[in-house]
Amino acid sequence: MEPCDTPANQSARKIFHELEEYYEEHNLYFRTIGSVLEAADLVGAPHRLKLILSQPKNELMVHCPVQMDDGSWKLLKGYRVQHNNALGPYKGGIRFHPEVKLDEVKTLALLMTMKCALARIPFGGAKGALRIDPRSVSKDELMRVTRRLTSALGDNIGPDYDIPAPDVGTNAQVMAWMADTYINFAESSSKVIARGIVTGKPLEFGGSAGREKATGQGLVYVLDALLPGMNIQLNEVSCSLLGYGNVGSWTARLLQERGTTLKAVMDHTGAILNEEGIDAVALAGYVAETGGVHGFPDASAITSETFYSTPVDLFIPAALEQMIDLEHAQRMQCKVLVEGANAPTTPNAEHYLLEKGVEVLPAILCNAGGVTVSYFEWKQNRQSETWDEEHVDEALKKIMTRSAARVLEAAKRLDCNMRLASYAAAIEQIDKVYEMRGVFP
Ligand code: NAD
């Protein structure tokens, strides 16, 4: 069980009590807002800002009737949570997952607000989801549910208002269907700008060079900025990847280019190990073909316990939320936990790792590359421009390096861990904007 008397819980309890909002100590949203409010206390943020950030501005729930290939009908539940738009239009991915819940979407929307503010990108935070297993439906069914969800969201999304992107279970193809549906509803005079309704589109249809690898690429730039200060060189170290989808597989491939050895990987199909190193490119090809890492010929199958306890320098979660719990943390033998996934670490696992001397690099810093290149895509769409990959990478590196420096500076100034520092640096930016804009009316 998580401890209940942490500073994060105390900060959240105080605000939720004042709002007369129900809370449950072990709920993911409560845990996450607790850390954000603890950071707000650290920087002496005004009370009104803590109230504003503690709940999303809008929580939308839709129910989409969809006919399946066999003629039967399903009613699918969808969400769009718009957490905050003080810095710019709402921005955040759309997840397709059979067990997705409102509190998970609220948490991810809150983290988007923090992420964009830390990176100084002119976006607010949002997140959406559809309760469906995308692997269990045909391509035609997936297209119909995507179009139906897009039309159900209607004017609640828009290129100047709220811009979705891919997340777990969605990809460039899903974004193409979303954009096409939205463009069909748009006035003829705004059809060009309507392409910017989503980012992460295919390159041929308004996507950006470098978007697919962007989250992994951004993570590597963060490591470039921070590891030398820990006396760690990428070409001398080993890593484990939990999750081998977009974020995991691109991180592994880009780290391999830097000479990092990929020792172990686990996904929803199983776990594999090769002490000599797994070829990240070959594994990505195998996963694209078979759907998972299970059965990859050049590695041995291992248990989940062995996966977590394999000694590596960098342990990189790139799957779902809260997978690193205390039990897993107690097995782990790594120097740095690099959060590729959103909210992958439970508070007591983080506490344990920090006490043990493991550095924990927080998600809102490490995985901000995705939203950063989404911002570049949105900009290109608005200006009818096409940037080449070199230009994208250069601009991405600048933003990731500056964000990493911002977190380091805040950690030093506030004498706190990197997660609190990342939230603190984000909150300071949002606070300045509220101070200048005022709170309407
Ligand atoms: P994805 O769907 O491409 O991959 C998800 C991976 O998680 C898959 O390899 C899957 O097998 C694995 N997984 C799922 N359940 C698992 C389980 N029970 N045990 C082990 N592995 C499991 O998703 P993604 O886009 O790579 O996103 C991964 C994480 O990164 C999520 O937290 C997402 O919110 C975050 N993220 C993604 C982006 C992006 O640009 N795609 C950007 C920022 C953050």
| The predicted structure's pLDDT at residue 440 | 85
Residue 102: pLDDT above 60?
yes
| The predicted structure's pLDDT at residue 422 | 98
What distance in Å separates the CA atoms of residue 244 and residue 251, rounded to the nearest whole number? 9
Q: Helix, strand, coil shares of the chain as percentages rounded to 5?
A: 55, 15, 30
Index of the ligand 1 atom closest to the CA of residue 244: 9
Residue 92: pLDDT above 60?
yes
pLDDT band of 266, cuts 50, 70, 90: very high
CB of 368 within 6 A of ligand 1: the answer is no
Q: What is the mean pLDDT of residues 423-427?
A: 98
Sequence-distant (6+) residues with CB within 8 A of 217 are 210, 250, 254, 369, 373, 393, 396
CB of 345 within 6 A of ligand 1: the answer is no
Index of the ligand 1 atom closest to the CA of residue 95: 34
What is the chain's mean pLDDT, rounded?
96
CB of 218 within 6 A of ligand 1: the answer is no
Paired tokens of 259? 């000479």
412 CA from centroid of ligand 1 (Å): 31
Do 180 and 150 touch, CB atoms closer than 8 A? no
Question: 347-376, pLDDT tens digit by residue?
Answer: 999 999 999 999 999 999 999 999 999 999
242 CA from centroid of ligand 1 (Å): 9
Number of Cβ within a 10 Å radius of residue 142:
21
User: Of 50, 106, 127, 201, which one is the catalytic site residue?
Assistant: 127
95 CA from centroid of ligand 1 (Å): 10
Index of the ligand 1 atom closest to the CA of residue 340: 30
Provide the sign of the torsion angle of the four alpha carbons 354, 280, 302, 320, taken in this order: positive
CB of 317 within 6 A of ligand 1: the answer is no
Protein residue with its CA nearest to atom 27 in ligand 1: 168
Number of Cβ within a 10 Å radius of residue 436:
8
Q: What is the mean pLDDT of residues 80-89?
A: 98
CB of 342 within 6 A of ligand 1: the answer is yes
Number of Cβ within a 10 Å radius of residue 318:
29
Residue 412: pLDDT above 80?
yes
Protein residue with its CA nearest to atom 29 in ligand 1: 341
Strands 261-267 and 238-242 come out as: parallel
CB of 112 within 6 A of ligand 1: the answer is no
Q: What is the mean pLDDT of residues 13-34?
A: 90
| The predicted structure's pLDDT at residue 368 | 98
End-to-end CA distance of the chain: 43
| The predicted structure's pLDDT at residue 4 | 61
Distances (CA, A) of 72 to 66, 144, 348: 9, 13, 45
Residue of 9, 113, 2 lying closest to 53 (CA atoms): 113
CB of 169 within 6 A of ligand 1: the answer is yes
Protein residue with its CA nearest to atom 2 in ligand 1: 168
pTM for the full predicted model: 0.96
237 CA from centroid of ligand 1 (Å): 23
CB of 92 within 6 A of ligand 1: the answer is no
Protein residue with its CA nearest to atom 15 in ligand 1: 268
Do 162 and 82 touch, CB atoms closer than 8 A? yes
| The predicted structure's pLDDT at residue 130 | 98
DSSP 8-state code for residue 339: -
Protein residue with its CA nearest to atom 20 in ligand 1: 267
pLDDT band of 5, cuts 50, 70, 90: confident
pLDDT band of 21, cuts 50, 70, 90: confident
Do 244 and 319 touch, CB atoms closer than 8 A? no
Q: What is the mean pLDDT of residues 20-31?
A: 87
Residue 122: pLDDT above 90?
yes
243 CA from centroid of ligand 1 (Å): 6
133 CA from centroid of ligand 1 (Å): 14
CB of 294 within 6 A of ligand 1: the answer is no
What distance in Å separates the CA atoms of residue 232 and residue 262, rounded to the nearest whole number? 16
What distance in Å separates the CA atoms of residue 401 and residue 418, rounded to the nearest whole number? 15
What distance in Å separates the CA atoms of residue 405 and residue 408, rounded to the nearest whole number? 5
| The predicted structure's pLDDT at residue 3 | 55
Provide the sign of the torsion angle of the four alpha carbons 310, 314, 318, 321, taken in this order: positive
Q: Is 127 a catalytic residue?
A: yes
CB of 271 within 6 A of ligand 1: the answer is no
Do 263 and 313 touch, CB atoms closer than 8 A? no
- b/e per residue, 401-422, with b = 16+ CB within 10 A? eebbebbbebbeeeebbbbbbb
